[in-house]
């Protein structure tokens, strides 16, 4: 092994150890999605979140992103939250951790090197792992770019992301919340339009169902138009997170013909 490869291996090993017990760890959060800010590496095409050991380095990166009109905040990850945070990146489609970006100790590690992805084959009989990582990831990129626009318009990049998002939606399987009387919750926007919440994974469903009044129901995207309430104009994906609204034609019409951003 060359000296350079040996040093890289040692550094990565040290980084993985530090990420398990960092003392302090900070993440750049997106103000557009309420999720970790995601970046795509231009060389490896890894989908990364940005982590820092020092708050001043994280704030410096947040200022750099602000210059590019990205809305971000710095959040501290408490030690007791570490495993849950790392594990939550899988259903978001994130595969890489960029540590200390912009400093002389910058290094990236694969998420799989740090935590093991849950094995869907080992779930109890009758249980199914509901996740839509490709949709979730595309929604985060879409909203980050949408929110940095000075005027609410679809650029060519946003149109491509929108098309990708809709394609992932049509292939998706989601969680709906059902009340005891078989009613479903709806969300009324400031413009008066009513949307039905849908969730990409159990984590997002649990955030919405903190009072545990809803029972989860698994629904394929193709079946969603058949179960929408008459007054509903569409669905809102992960309303406490990415909050992406899709207009959906009811009954047997094709779903998700138009995407709109969240209300201010």
Please indicate, yes or no, if residue 65 is contained in any of the structural domains. yes
The neighbouring-strand residues paired with 126 are none
Domain match, 66 and 164 both: no
97 and 171 in a single domain? The answer is no
Q: Do both 138 and 255 map to the same domain? A: yes
What domain range includes position 199?
Answer: 133-260
Of the residues 54, 80, 114, the one at which a domain ends: 114
The answer as to whether 124 is a domain residue is: no
Q: Is the same domain home to 9 and 88?
A: yes
Give the pair of three-digit tokens for residue 112. 């799989």
Using alpha carbons only, give the angle 117, 136, 33 rounded to the nearest 5 degrees. 115
**Number of domains the chain contains:** 2
- pLDDT for the residue numbered 118: 67
Q: Do residues 40 and 47 touch, judged by C-beta distance below 8 A?
A: yes
Same domain (yes/no): 107, 162: no
Give 92's contacts (C-beta < 8 A, 6+ positions apart). 35, 36, 38, 133, 136, 137, 140
3-state secondary structure the chain: CCHHHHHHHHHHHHHHHHHHCCCCCEEEEECCCCCECEEECCCCCCEEEEEECCHHHHHHHHHHHHHCCCCEEEEECCHHHHHHHHHHCCCCCCCEEEECCCCCCCEEEEHHHHCCCCCHHHCCCCCCCCCCHHHHHHHHHHHHHHHCCCCCCCCHHHHHHHHHHHHHHHCCEEEEEECCCCCCCCEECCCCCEEEEEECCHHHHHHHCCCCCCEEEEEEHHHHHHHCCCCCCEEEECCCCCCEEEECCCCCCCCCCEEECCCC
Same domain membership, residue 68 and residue 147: no
Orientation angle between helical segments 156-170 and 133-147, nearest 10 degrees: 150
The three-point CA angle 241-207-204 to 5° equals: 55
Cα 228 from chain centroid?
A: 24
Do 110 and 189 share a domain, yes or no?
Answer: no
Instruction: Clarify whether residues 18 and 104 are in a common domain.
Output: yes
Find out whether 255 and 170 touch, Cβ atoms under 8 Å.
Answer: yes
CB 245 within 8 A of CB 254: no
Same domain, 143 and 222: yes
Residues 6+ apart with CB under 8 A from 150: 69
* Rg of the chain on CA atoms, in Å: 20
d(CA 165, CA 239): 16
Question: Mean pLDDT in each 10-residue stretch from start to end of the chain (264 residues)?
Answer: 52 93 96 97 97 97 97 96 96 97 94 84 65 97 93 87 96 92 85 92 94 92 89 93 88 45 44
In this structure, the strands spanning 258-260 and 215-220 are: unpaired
**Within a domain: residue 120?**
no
Q: Which of 114, 147, 177 is the last residue of a domain?
A: 114
Indicate if 203 and 238 belong to the same structural domain. yes
Question: What's residue 126's pLDDT?
Answer: 54
* pLDDT at position 75: 98
Q: Are residues 141 and 255 in the same domain?
A: yes
């Amino acid at each position: 092994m060359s000296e350079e490869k040996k040093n890289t291996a040692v550094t990565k090993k040290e980084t993985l150890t530090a990420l398990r017990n960092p003392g302090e760890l900070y993440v750049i959060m997106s103000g557009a999605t309420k999720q970790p800010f995601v970046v795509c590496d231009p060389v490896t095409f890894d989908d990364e979140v940005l982590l820092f050991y020092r708050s001043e380095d994280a704030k410096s990166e947040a200022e750099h992103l602000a210059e590019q009109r990205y809305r971000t905040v710095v959040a501290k990850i408490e030690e007791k939250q570490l495993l849950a945070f790392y594990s939550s990146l899988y259903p978001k489609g994130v595969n890489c951790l960029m540590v200390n970006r912009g400093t002389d100790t910058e290094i990236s590690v694969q998420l799989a090197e740090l935590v093991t992805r849950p094995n869907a084959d080992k779930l109890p009989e009758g249980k199914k792992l509901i996740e839509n990582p490709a949709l979730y990831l595309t929604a985060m990129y879409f909203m980050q770019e949408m929110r940095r626009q000075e005027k609410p318009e679809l650029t060519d990049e946003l149109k491509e992301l929108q098309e990708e998002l809709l394609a992932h939606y049509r292939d998706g399987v989601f969680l709906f919340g059902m009340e005891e009387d078989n009613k479903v919750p709806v969300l009324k926007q400031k413009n008066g339009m009513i949307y039905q919440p849908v969730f990409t994974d159990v984590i997002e469903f649990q955030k919405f169902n903190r009072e545990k009044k809803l029972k989860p129901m698994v629904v394929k995207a193709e079946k969603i138009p058949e179960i929408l309430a008459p007054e509903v104009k569409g669905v809102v994906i992960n309303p406490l997170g990415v909050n992406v609204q899709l207009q959906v034609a009811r009954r047997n019409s094709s779903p998700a013909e138009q995407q709109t951003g969240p209300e201010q």
